[in-house]
Amino acid sequence: MRPPAPPPSAPGSAHAQPTAPRSAHGSGTAQRSAPRGADGPGTAQRSAPRRVVQRAVPTSADVARLAGVSRATVSYVLNNTSSVRISEPTRRRVHEAARELGYVPHAAARSLRAGHTRMVLLPAPEVAVGPLYSGLFHELHWALSRLDYTVVQFGSAGQSGDQAARAWAELRPAAVLMFSTFSARLGPLGVDVLKRSGVRAVITLAQEPTEGAHAVLMDQRTVGRCAGEHLLARGRRRIGVVVPEEPGLEAYSLPRLEGVRRAAQGTGAEITELPLAYDEASAARLAGRWRRLDLDGVFAYNDEYAMLLMRALQDEGIGVPDDTAVMGADDLMLGRLLRPRLSTVRIELPSGRELAEIVDRAVRDPGAPPEVHKVLDVTAVPRESA
Amino acid sequence: MRPPAPPPSAPGSAHAQPTAPRSAHGSGTAQRSAPRGADGPGTAQRSAPRRVVQRAVPTSADVARLAGVSRATVSYVLNNTSSVRISEPTRRRVHEAARELGYVPHAAARSLRAGHTRMVLLPAPEVAVGPLYSGLFHELHWALSRLDYTVVQFGSAGQSGDQAARAWAELRPAAVLMFSTFSARLGPLGVDVLKRSGVRAVITLAQEPTEGAHAVLMDQRTVGRCAGEHLLARGRRRIGVVVPEEPGLEAYSLPRLEGVRRAAQGTGAEITELPLAYDEASAARLAGRWRRLDLDGVFAYNDEYAMLLMRALQDEGIGVPDDTAVMGADDLMLGRLLRPRLSTVRIELPSGRELAEIVDRAVRDPGAPPEVHKVLDVTAVPRESA
DNA sequence: TTGAAAGCGTTACCAG
DNA sequence: CTGGTAACGCTTTCAA
């Protein structure tokens, strides 16, 4: 997160603020007022070519000066502090001055002073997540805003989960929501780093709970189980399960596979794992050896892979559902457009509001022991393909 | 040393404020000051533990004390400052102490002192964007990380673009990338707010340039033009253009429509706007009145709407492409699976690396006049449906 | 080679 | 009701 070293190059070019040593300890308001530029007093602060007059960023002190009041008053007015009454004319002068200067408070300074933030960190998804999750993110975002949190999606491009945790901890967020199903897995160490840095709530959305964190369990195995049970109920006994070859999806695909296995337990059905990349060639290859595989049913990970596979099977002359029943998951619109219509598993994610409330509760009571919420409602949607 | 402030009244009663004083983004203005029990350097940590020992968050001073050095030394060691040489044993002691305490630097404090950040703000998309944009975001993110920027996706749930700009300005990012094609439009005012708050680079990805900002123009009209030209070349003259009813898509759909119109100019072809919601009922309704519309070609906004419409047309007994040619856009995999295979417009977005370099250049030279980059390469992909 | 101290912009606490 | 002042955690110059 640190720049390795500011390009030393031109002397003074990168100087943050070569302010003259403050005359007295605490004459607080008296400096750096005028547009720095022109001929600096004494210290030659030859800023690089100032093609455009880069005005200094206005601070609350500037506002105070312009309004002819103290910085405290500015703060009171701009924050609507209720414990202090400020006369109406003063208020107006302050607002006026702020507007004129284009003053925007400095979040870092504020949170430094406050000792905490209202930031909630969400991990920016690294693999293309479906519309389901996009929708959830969006809802969650909205719900958290309503609760006066600032939502920040924070990426961890290529770092490990625990490295990422460190980077996030630097921001001192109030809460961190971690999707352990994504590639950057957060382990107990990461949770610990976050907690020690003052994060009030760490919440994982995952398959299984992480030590020390609240957990919202989205057990993908139930998706597999549901699909498996559906196929079994239709009398299928030699069942294939598509496992995408694309990296980053294992967190979903493996539990789904496991779920099918569980459903098959004790039924005498046979489960076959079928690696498949998301392209036509791969699907054609799989379809090519389909007859040898001798399967009468397949759960294709999700609707997209199901569509891909179904098309390849049909092109190969394999009847769906007669020869092989095909089952998807996620209940995408597009599955309904195929012929035969794609049978699928509908997944009910928790609502953004629910999630936001879990976050809020956890933030308000950081001492509380980790809660575990089970979510993910799952229903088979029988259509024509299975 | 001043005595520790007594814990604020009833711990549980400090509700997050029911009504925020102001937007107060970034760090909020919660009353709950909750100064952590112990106080600064020097005194023994005797904070009264509540339910769980909420250790005070370690600061660099704590590290210094434990390592038996000054804070300056800690800073030097931890930041690998090259202008100062620290003895190896000291280095080790410092690192050791930092590790033991779980010290993580405070980003806000650091950037406050530094006077600038390495943060790049991206808007979190508000409408479900396709895999194209997800991919671009992901690439961009990665490329910016390589350039040592911290990427933050920042939402603006429901605010106007210029309001959002204010919220973003509070974070004092080095650069803001704005997708003016999304619902929160950033106008010249917003750009000004950002610039005055010290943001070094404002870059819009948009249809048209915004005053004062660098622009990466992704002209959606070319998509429409390409589709239109293709249909015209196939001899179609009465062309429909699907315009999604879903809000938030206008920024794409309207320019695409406009592009088709332009392609048709002077050819005598007739363009008909076709509102369509993304559900089967809406598609069926549109297909129901298709014969009356008397169209021999349609550009369906993108592949998803195209698939939806194509299915509805087929169900209505309308031949594709014989009666009506159908054209999509985005070249999704799924379009290839349909029969007839969907003709489409492939869109080549700029690479994340390119974009990252534009950002970096702009940050390094904030005074430079706004650049305008034209991107978006577009090619028709003829398949069977048109 | 290390340490002391000045501030970055804000807000909370007390004197006026 | 208003204004001075200290302090949040960090970096960096200057002095020892």
Q: Is-same-fold flag (A119-218+351-376; A221-348)?
A: yes
Pairing outcome for strands A325-327 and A344-348: unpaired
With bands split at pLDDT 50, 70 and 90, how would you rate the model's confidence at A2?
A: very low
Distance of CA B290 to the CA centre of its chain: 38
Q: Which residue of A has its CA nearest to B193?
A: A102
CA dist., res. A2 & res. A312, Å (int): 50
pLDDT given for residue B154 in this prediction: 84
pTM comes to: 0.82
Residue A300 or residue B126, greater confidence? A300
Q: Do B196 and A102 touch (CB under 8 A)?
A: yes
- Domain spans, chain A: 60-105, 119-218+351-376, 221-348
Which of B77, B104, B311 is best to mutate for the A interface (most A CBs within 10 A)? Answer: B104
Under 8 Å between Cβ of A344 and A189:
no
Whole-number average pLDDT of chain B: 84
- The full DSSP string for A197-250 is TT-SEEEEEESS--TTSEEEEE-THHHHHHHHHHHHHTT--EEEEEEE-STT-H
Give the CA-to-C1' distance from B204 to C10 in angstroms.
31
Partner-chain residue, chosen from B151, B171, B366, that has the shortest CB–CB distance to A54: B366
What percent of chain B is modeled with pLDDT above 90? 65
Q: Among A30-44, A138-152, A177-191, B49-63, where is mean pLDDT lowest?
A: A30-44
CA dist., res. A296 & res. A235, Å (int): 9
The pLDDT of residue B173 is above 90? yes
Give the CA-to-C1' distance from B171 to C1 in angstroms.
37
The pLDDT of residue B342 is above 70? yes
Partners of residue A50 in chain B, C-beta under 8 Å: 367
A257 close to B (CB below 8 A): no
Kindly state the tokens that stand for B8. Answer: 């604020």
The architecture CATH gives domain B60-105: Orthogonal Bundle (1.10)
B13 close to A (CB below 8 A): no
Under 8 Å between Cβ of B139 and B353:
yes
pLDDT given for residue A357 in this prediction: 96
pLDDT given for residue A173 in this prediction: 96
B192 close to A (CB below 8 A): yes
Most confident stretch, A365-369, B192-196, B244-248, B288-292: B288-292
Q: Do B336 and A280 touch (CB under 8 A)?
A: yes
Which of A54, A95, A111, A191 is best to mutate for the B interface (most B CBs within 10 A)? Answer: A111
Partners of residue A365 in chain B, C-beta under 8 Å: 12
- Determine the angle formed by the axes of helices A352-364 and A131-146, rounding to 10 degrees: 50
Residue A322 phi/psi, 5-degree rounding, is -60, -55
A53 close to B (CB below 8 A): no
CA dist., res. B280 & res. B293, Å (int): 19
B315 close to A (CB below 8 A): no
Partners of residue A334 in chain B, C-beta under 8 Å: 304, 307-308, 334
pLDDT given for residue A81 in this prediction: 85
Q: Do A116 and B157 touch (CB under 8 A)?
A: no
CA dist., res. B55 & res. B47, Å (int): 8
Give the CA-to-C1' distance from B74 to C14 in angstroms.
35
Give the CA-to-C1' distance from A26 to D13 in angstroms.
19
pLDDT given for residue B110 in this prediction: 94
B5 close to A (CB below 8 A): no
Kindly state the tokens that stand for B79. Answer: 């930041």
Which positions ≥6 away from A340 have C-beta within 8 Å?
A: A320, A321, A383, A384, A385
Q: Do A172 and B20 touch (CB under 8 A)?
A: no
What percent of chain B is modeled with pLDDT above 70? 83
Give the CA-to-C1' distance from A269 to D14 in angstroms.
79
pLDDT given for residue B23 in this prediction: 34
Per the CATH hierarchy, to which homologous superfamily does domain A119-218+351-376 belong?
Response regulator (3.40.50.2300)
Give the CA-to-C1' distance from B87 to C1 in angstroms.
7
CB pairs under 8 A between A and B: 229
Q: Which residue of A has its CA nearest to B106?
A: A170
Q: Do A337 and B311 touch (CB under 8 A)?
A: yes
The pLDDT of residue A187 is above 90? no
Q: What is the CATH number of domain B221-348?
A: 3.40.50.2300
pLDDT given for residue B54 in this prediction: 57
Give the containing element (helix H, strand E) for A274. Answer: strand A270-276
A317 close to B (CB below 8 A): no
The pLDDT of residue A71 is above 60? yes
pLDDT given for residue A30 in this prediction: 30
Under 8 Å between Cβ of A315 and A343:
no
Which positions ≥6 away from B50 have C-beta within 8 Å?
A: A367, B11
With bands split at pLDDT 50, 70 and 90, how would you rate the model's confidence at B5?
A: very low
Residue B250 or residue B20, greater confidence? B250
With bands split at pLDDT 50, 70 and 90, how would you rate the model's confidence at A324?
A: very high
Q: Which nucleotides of D are covered by protein (CB under 7 A)?
A: 1-13
In 3D space, the residue among A36, A89, A101, A35 whose CA is nearest the CA of residue A64 turns out to be: A101
What percent of chain A is modeled with pLDDT above 90? 61
Partners of residue A280 in chain B, C-beta under 8 Å: 333, 336-337
B169 close to A (CB below 8 A): yes
With bands split at pLDDT 50, 70 and 90, how would you rate the model's confidence at B184?
A: low
Residue nearest to nucleotide C7 (CA to C1'): B113
Residue A35 or residue A280, greater confidence? A280
The b/e string for B270-297 (b: 16+ C-beta within 10 A; e otherwise) is ebeebebeeeeebbeebbeebeeeebbb
Q: Do B33 and A106 touch (CB under 8 A)?
A: no
Residue A24 or residue B364, greater confidence? B364
Amino acid at B31: Q
Q: Do B35 and A280 touch (CB under 8 A)?
A: no
pLDDT in tens, B275-328: 999 999 999 999 999 999 999 999 999 999 999 999 999 999 999 999 999 999
Partners of residue A357 in chain B, C-beta under 8 Å: none
Segment 202-221 of chain A within 8 Å of chain B by CB: none
Number of Cβ within a 10 Å radius of residue B58: 20
pLDDT in tens, A73-119: 999 999 988 888 888 888 999 999 999 999 999 999 999 999 999 99
B172 close to A (CB below 8 A): yes
- Closest nucleotide to the alpha carbon of A31, via C1': C7
Kindly tell me the burial class for residue B119, based on how many C-beta atoms sit within 10 Å of its own C-beta (0-12, 13-18, 19 or more): buried
Under 8 Å between Cβ of A344 and A303:
yes
Partners of residue B279 in chain A, C-beta under 8 Å: 333
Q: Among A2-6, A23-27, A326-330, where is mean pLDDT lowest?
A: A23-27
